[in-house]
A and B are shown apart, each in its own frame.
Chain A
Amino acid sequence: MGEELKVIVFALGEEQYGIEVDKVRTIERMQPITRVPKAPGFIKGVINLRGVVIPVLDLRGRFGLEETVATDNSRIIIVAANELEVGFIVDSANDVIDIDSDTIDSPPEVVGGIKAKYLQGIAKIGEKQLLVMLNLSEVLNRKEIIQLEQLEV
């Protein structure tokens, strides 16, 4: 037996993804987002989370998946990692499960169009279901944010 991991499960399209629970600060319902001009497309803007301004990204956009219109099930997961606080827009977030770290396999090259480096591994839950564990520090890697074009003045 490996370590027990508590994981928040959320969905992007048909896929189930997991983030370790201690990286997640809160899960919020969708709320008005203030657009930030000239920011990369997947950065949807900033929200006011109890007095703190937090940038919000569309995880679909971040992974280069097709972005969809927010629904009632859409949630903003506020994560804290690498001294950064960022919100992820996901299609739904509704479960916390325990998984055994031994059951996490290294990820295949591409899962559902998401590059392997964003993934920490794949965990089997139950009989058939697979859970893709996110590599948060890579997802939040700022170097990846394309150098913004300077504003034309």
Chain B
Amino acid sequence: MDMNAYLSMFIDESNDHLQALNENLLKLENDPGDISIVQVIFRSAHTLKGMSATMGFEDLASLTHEMENVLDLVRNSKLAMDSFIFDTLFKGLDALEAMVQDIVGGGTGKADVSSIVVSLQSIVKGDYLKAAQPSADAPAQNSGSSGTSGGALLDIFQQSVLKQSIESGNQAYYIKVTLREDCVLKAARAYMVFDVLESNGEVIKSEPSVQDLEQEKFDRSFIVFLISGTDAEELKSRIESVSEVDSADVVLLDAESLQMYGPVPDNQQKPAASQAAPAVQAREAAVRETSAAKSQTAATGAAVANRTIRVDIDRLDSLMNLFSELLIDRVRLEQLSSEIKRSDLIETVEHMARVSTDLQDIVLKLRMVPVESVFNRFPRMVRDIAKQLDKKIDLVVTGAETELDRTVIDEIGDPLVHLLRNSLDHGVEMPADRLAAGKPETGTVHLRAFHSGNHVFIEVEDDGNGIDAAKVRRIAVKNGVLSEEEANKLSEEQAQMLIFAAGFSTADKISDLSGRGVGLDVVKSKITSLGGHVTIRSQLGKGTIFSIQLPLTLSIISAMLIQMGSEKYAIPLSSIVETGIIQRDSIATVHGNQMIEFRGTVIPVVSLSRVLDVPDYREDAETETEIVVIRKNDKLAALMIDSFIGQSEIVLKPLGKYLPAIKALSGATILGDGQVALIIDPNAFIK
């Protein structure tokens, strides 16, 4: 059987489960008493184990199995979680993640996890175990019991669990599941049966052991002891709804019949066992006939539930590229139709334009991913770092559902890691210092994302010590980032921005995490390369907010096309406030800079033709000049241009790696006539 077809599905689902495990373990750490979380964790771990065993990733399966053993004790309230157990489980998760990554990279998913396994086993067996007997789920014991039916299927411990649950009013069942003879994926089916059982109750014991089942070390049938509130018929039909299950015999156990499966070496029990066995067999036969029909109807019912599909990212990218080509042709068609002026052609082109606008919406939306996929690894990271730093920190995540283009999502992770680490390391103070400053001992770091206009904002806010502008100035001068004179000229805000300069660190000592002076400058350049901006708002003693502004999409934008002599340029519409015409003589020179009055304020005027060295246009000779008023945050500036061409949807294209970064340009686009037009970066004109 070709497993490769399932590999990508396996990887996707493993990642989902690992993420779920991480999240839920964190939840549990905050609320260790909540057994319902343990149940969820256990189910994730179990599914993961089943999948990896089916796919033949033995190491993954066995490590998950060990973790499952620990979790099993916890959910049965036989083990109280403590920090050692959490750490070990987290370590286990890290190892699992590494293995899955290895599989993603084409590896075999093998890794040496013996140390983690040893500590997991020590948790299961060792001092942590409150019960007198070692757990029946320990693998050593599982493999030890090899009886097939009747005999000592249960050890004392399992037996007492069943007994207790019967006494407390729950039903205990003996279930024998038989798979069809032609069943191909026996392990997978067994696993699916377990899934059903576990959603209906609690599996106390299986024969053969779960491990053996997963490795297909069984013939056609297996036996399960289950505690459940569901009645026998219901259980039976649920199990039989799993495809390729031939039959399921569900026998309700009472205290007496329970005895015969126990290890009690009491001779009286033996006859009882042999009596029960034929009874079971008789029911088996009766049940077999009805099962086939039932399983089919149930299978079709379940298939409808899933309404999403996973799509290869490359396909989305090529869809996007093809759409870009279409858009260029659309612009060209619009041009042609306006030249030819035939009404039916114009009508058709207009209709096509409307359809392609809708199509564009859909194509862009397809590529939108919630930032959650980036955010969800942070709670874990913050926990680990806080622990390492001996600080107490709460991470509050809001707006994780905010959507961003996938290209941005892929790139935004690392900068955010840097910013968060920076906040944890330099922002939030040590608990003692916080208490001394009259703040709560536990620091809070907010990570939030939200939409605003055509942009998405991501903010990292801490309630730490804030940025000391004076200290930043001092260090910047010392590290030679700028001269003392320049430093003194800077406003508070500008001084704070110095921490983004290359080779800068305010940390008094270099820590493992940050302070080497690499990081924040990388953050800034990365975000700039994504077409975004970082700003800092910080108050000494109160805290710091790093705010990242990102464009919604990197692929298609609305832009104003302008003519500069014989050349054409595009200005993103998102930064244009207004267009207009000014009289040349209304331009005043203030302090060597050209300024105009615009709606009650005075704003700088920039000669675009000079900045771009346009060879065949200068506005100097004109008495009236067209201007584009652009905005960056709350600052405005006016660009003098030659003439407007019009508004258009443009497809962003990179200028290629060879060209050095040119400050006033953010990229290129291809116009309807096949020519390349450069895109002006308005932010370069406003300091």
- A residues near B (Cβ < 8 Å) are 32, 34-39, 43, 45-48, 51-55, 83-86, 140, 142, 145, 147-148, 150-153
The 6 A-B residue pairs with the shortest CB-CB distance, nearest first, are: A34-B676, A37-B612, A53-B653, A53-B668, A151-B663, A84-B658
| B685 surroundings in chain A (CB, below 8 A) | 153
| B655 surroundings in chain A (CB, below 8 A) | 36, 46, 53, 55
A41 → B minimal CB distance (Å): 12
Q: Count A-B pairs with CB separation below 8 Å.
A: 91
A36 touches B684 (CB 8 A): no
Whole-angstrom distance between the alpha carbons of A6 and B684 in the complex?
46
B659 touches A37 (CB 8 A): no
Whole-angstrom distance between the alpha carbons of A1 and B147 in the complex?
74
Whole-angstrom distance between the alpha carbons of A19 and B668 in the complex?
29
B656 touches A151 (CB 8 A): no
Whole-angstrom distance between the alpha carbons of A45 and B655 in the complex?
10
Q: Which of B668-687 contact A (CB under 8 A)?
A: 668, 670, 674-678, 684-685, 687
Indicate whether B606 reaches chain A with its CB closer than 8 angstroms.
Answer: yes
| B325 surroundings in chain A (CB, below 8 A) | 51
| A84 surroundings in chain B (CB, below 8 A) | 656-658
Given contacts A46-B678, A55-B655, A151-B662, 11 further A-B contacts (CB under 8 A): A34-B678, A36-B665, A37-B678, A47-B676, A48-B670, A53-B654, A53-B656, A55-B658, A85-B658, A86-B656, A142-B660
Tell me the nearest residue of chain B to A37, going by C-beta: B612
B656 touches A85 (CB 8 A): yes
B662 touches A148 (CB 8 A): yes
| B324 surroundings in chain A (CB, below 8 A) | 51
B613 touches A38 (CB 8 A): yes
A148 touches B611 (CB 8 A): no
A51 touches B321 (CB 8 A): yes
| B611 surroundings in chain A (CB, below 8 A) | 37, 151-153
Whole-angstrom distance between the alpha carbons of A59 and B610 in the complex?
27
A118 → B minimal CB distance (Å): 16
Tell me the nearest residue of chain A to B612, going by C-beta: A37
B653 touches A52 (CB 8 A): yes
Given contacts A35-B567, A37-B612, A48-B676, contact A54 B656 (CB under 8 A): yes
Whole-angstrom distance between the alpha carbons of A83 and B668 in the complex?
19
| B614 surroundings in chain A (CB, below 8 A) | 37
| A147 surroundings in chain B (CB, below 8 A) | 660
| B660 surroundings in chain A (CB, below 8 A) | 39, 142, 145, 147-148
A42 → B minimal CB distance (Å): 12
Q: Mark B413-442, 1 if CB is under 8 A from A, else 0.
A: 000000000000000000000000000000
| A83 surroundings in chain B (CB, below 8 A) | 657
Q: Which of B631-659 contact A (CB under 8 A)?
A: 653-659
